Structure 1
């Protein structure tokens, strides 16, 4: 999962810190870092919706195994 997110981050030139701020605002939240570090194995639907919205992509991107 993280590889797909990382690919989008690189293509949009967004850092993980910026992604976290886009999702959670100014409050410090380690959820995105936990996902990156493999501490979250199966992210919730709600989290994936937040990530997709923050990256301005469709949730379908995460379902397609070819990407």
Structure 2
């Protein structure tokens, strides 16, 4: 699941979903869908999340590609 890549980075950086929502402009409800329902983000939102966390988009990429 995509969020499994994001979660450890957020924990390491001591960031919350609320913080991520404010930094990215993505609704917190949308972020919770990524987290709890396994919804995959659009490319644009994935880029926003990577930028906010200051990581490469490749770090968030699934290993099975």
Tell me how many residue pairs correspond in the alignment.
62
Q: How does 1:12-51 map to 2 (within 5 A)?
A: 12-24=13-25, 29=27, 30-38=29-37, 40=39, 42-51=40-49
Higher relative contact order (CA 8 A, sep 6+): 2
SS at match of 1:47: helix
Query: Cα RMSD between the aligned structures?
Result: 2.0
CA distance in 2, matches of 1:38, 1:64: 17
- TM-score by structure 2 length? 0.81
Contiguous gaps of at least 5 residues in structure 2? none
Contiguous gaps of at least 5 residues in structure 1? none
- TM-score by structure 1 length? 0.79
Q: Rg bigger for which structure?
A: 1
